[in-house]
């Protein structure tokens, strides 16, 4: 049994903390939103009056927040100061590589250990404890965190040193964002050419067009009954999060000077999708925009 502080009990953090409780750990949680605290309490989390109290007696601190700014502010505004020396800080939020490296540096400067461990698998994976963790950490810190991460995930990958987990996450979501647009354009083109969605799926899913965006998160209803397209594009993975993650990819592409063309374009397409009503819809809803824009042709 480990004393774990869990900061950020939202869509992802809530079920992740609940799984730690189920595994027998003592979880002290904090969130700014009262409803998130109520939910966590019902799942056996000991709710703290503030983040510093949650952290005070803990050996491990997990943050699951929306942005790099939130993580760095939380670290600076009390988490690091309230923790016992040598506490293991695990940040599972999806944030910039530079912010992840800065967060670990702050933790180390305060006498602690730190790592980035973002996840993929969504809310379903968080609930089912099947998340993939992408970890950027020193080898010894990775080994210390592994048993805790295994409670919440099905696959734990040590990607390299500080920031490498975020790098893997950003690269993966760049592939995902671009491939969903390509799959969606292909379905709309197929429809214009008189091809049924099912026929295109039957061919492409068993041919060189095969990819997760097609075979798991298929953007048209029918071929994959569990995909969000069958449920009016309820997420799943919300357009706002894809827009955010591709914004992080864009920052990284610019910072590294990669001569990318599709990544920046995909970032613009999802930003517009999120701003024009798609923020709370699954990102595969991008196909409805492509179809609408093609209506007059």
Task: Give yes or no for residue 129 binding ligand NAD (CB under 6 A).
Answer: no
Indicate which single residue of 40, 74, 167, 170 sits in contact with ligand NAD (rule: CB under 6 A): 74
Write the interaction track for ligand NAD spanning residues 17-46; mark x where CB under 6 A is met and - where it is not. -------------xxxx--x----------
Q: Of 38 and 143, which CB lies nearer to ligand NAD in the complex structure?
A: 38
CB of 254 to ligand NAD, least distance (A): 20
Dihedral over alpha carbons 168, 9, 112, 256 (to 10 degrees)? 30
What does the angle CA 50 – CA 122 – CA 29 come to, to the nearest 5 degrees?
15
Query: DSSP states of 143-204 as a string?
Result: HHHHHHHHHHEEEEEEEESTTHHHHHHHHHHHHHHHHHHHHHHHHHHHHHTT--HHHHHHHH
Q: Of 65 and 220, which CB lies nearer to ligand NAD in the complex structure?
A: 65
Q: Of 104 and 204, which CB lies nearer to ligand NAD in the complex structure?
A: 104
By CB under 6 A, which span of 62-70, 158-166, 176-184, 268-276 interacts with ligand NAD?
A: 62-70
CB of 9 to ligand NAD, least distance (A): 6
Task: Give yes or no for residue 119 binding ligand NAD (CB under 6 A).
Answer: yes
The contacts found for 140-144 with CB under 8 angstroms, 24 or more apart, are 141/88, 141/113, 141/114, 141/115, 142/115, 144/88, 144/113
Known catalytic membership, residue 22: no
Query: DSSP states of 4-57 as a string?
Result: EEEE--STTHHHHHHHHHHTT-EEEEE-SSHHHHHHHHHTT-EE-SSHHHHHHT
Task: Give yes or no for residue 66 binding ligand NAD (CB under 6 A).
Answer: yes
CB of 209 to ligand NAD, least distance (A): 25
Task: Give yes or no for residue 55 binding ligand NAD (CB under 6 A).
Answer: no
Say how far apart CA 218 and CA 284 lie, in whole Å. Answer: 8
Choice among 22, 169, 192, 244 that is catalytic: 169
CB of 67 to ligand NAD, least distance (A): 7
Say how far apart CA 62 and CA 228 lie, in whole Å. Answer: 30
Kindly report the backbone phi and psi dihedral angles of residue 111, in degrees, each rounded to the nearest multiple of 5, phi listed first: 90, 20
Task: Give yes or no for residue 13 binding ligand NAD (CB under 6 A).
Answer: yes
Active site amino acids: 169
Interaction site with ligand NAD (CB under 6 A) = 7-13, 30-33, 36, 51, 64-66, 70, 74, 93-94, 119-120, 122-123, 237, 241
């Amino acid at each position: 049994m480990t004393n774990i502080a869990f900061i950020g009990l939202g869509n992802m953090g809530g079920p992740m903390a609940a799984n730690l409780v189920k595994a027998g750990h003592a979880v002290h949680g904090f969130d700014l939103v009262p409803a998130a605290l109520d939910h966590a309490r019902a799942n056996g989390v000991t709710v703290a009056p503030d983040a510093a109290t949650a952290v005070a007696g803990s050996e491990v601190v997990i943050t699951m927040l929306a942005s790099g700014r939130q993580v760095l502010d939380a670290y600076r505004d009390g988490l690091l100061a309230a923790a016992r020396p040598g506490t293991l800080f695990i940040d599972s939020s999806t944030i910039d590589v530079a912010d992840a490296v800065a967060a670990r540096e702050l933790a180390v400067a305060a006498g602690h250990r730190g790592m980035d461990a973002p996840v993929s698998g969504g809310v379903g994976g968080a609930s089912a404890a099947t998340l993939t963790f992408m970890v950027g950490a020193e080898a010894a810190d990775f080994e210390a965190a592994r048993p805790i991460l295994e409670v919440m995930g099905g696959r734990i990958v040590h990607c390299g040193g500080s920031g490498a987990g975020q790098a893997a996450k950003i690269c993966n979501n760049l592939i995902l964002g671009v491939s969903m647009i390509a799959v969606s354009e292909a379905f709309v083109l197929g429809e214009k050419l008189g091809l049924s969605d099912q026929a295109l799926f039957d061919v492409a899913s068993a041919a060189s067009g095969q990819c997760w965006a097609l075979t798991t998160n298929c953007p048209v209803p029918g071929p994959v009954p569990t995909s969000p397209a069958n449920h009016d594009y309820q997420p799943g993975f919300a357009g706002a999060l894809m827009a955010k993650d591709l914004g992080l990819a864009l920052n990284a592409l610019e910072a590294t000077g990669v001569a990318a063309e599709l990544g920046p374009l995909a970032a613009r397409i999802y930003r517009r999708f999120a701003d024009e009503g798609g923020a709370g819809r699954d990102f595969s809803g991008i196909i409805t925009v492509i179809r609408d824009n093609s209506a007059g042709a």
